[in-house]
Amino acid sequence: MRGNDYFRELLGIKVLDAKDGYSKMSLKISKEHTNFVGFTHGGVVFALADCAFAEAVNFGDKQAVAVQVNINFLRPSSEGDVLTAEAITISEGKTFVLCSITVRKKNKTIALFSGLAYKMQSDKTF
């Protein structure tokens, strides 16, 4: 990925693995990541999945931006949990790339994120 992902750094997300069409990230949940019921804020789980998505579709010189995403929050997590997000490209064409991102707490799936990204044409930058 070109440049820095400052929001990823702010949240404390770590990159475990990254290659073309694939990435794996982790985040240890702190109190600041939780919501009023003591669960990990949905926006934090979304952000972890979204960061893994971004890395997988922006590897090297590739540039792509999300155009549609969906997330299902299947299980809660809370302070002290270590979450991982694994992004795998399902389909890549000339214009769009579809990715599936699984967020896990140990061996349990806590969220499933699906992301469709638009591939920027090489003669344009953003």
Ligand X SMILES: CC(C)(COP(=O)(O)OP(=O)(O)OC[C@H]1O[C@@H](n2cnc3c(N)ncnc32)[C@H](O)[C@@H]1OP(=O)(O)O)[C@@H](O)C(=O)NCCC(=O)NCCS
Stretch that binds ligand X, among 19-27, 51-59, 73-81, 114-122 (CB under 6 A): 73-81
76 touches ligand X (CB under 6 A): yes
Q: Which of 14, 19, 28, 75 binds ligand X (CB under 6 A)?
A: 75
Q: Cα separations (Å) of 113 from 18, 27, 77?
A: 18, 16, 16
53 touches ligand X (CB under 6 A): no
Cα separation of 52 and 99, whole Å? Answer: 10
39 touches ligand X (CB under 6 A): yes
16 touches ligand X (CB under 6 A): no
Q: Which of 7, 16, 19, 42 binds ligand X (CB under 6 A)?
A: 42
Per-residue exposure over 60-89, b if at least 16 CB sit within 10 Å of its own CB, e if not: eebbbeeeebebebeebbeeebebbbbbeb
Cα separation of 96 and 24, whole Å? Answer: 21
Q: What residues line the site for ligand X (CB under 6 A)? A: 35, 39, 42, 73-76, 108
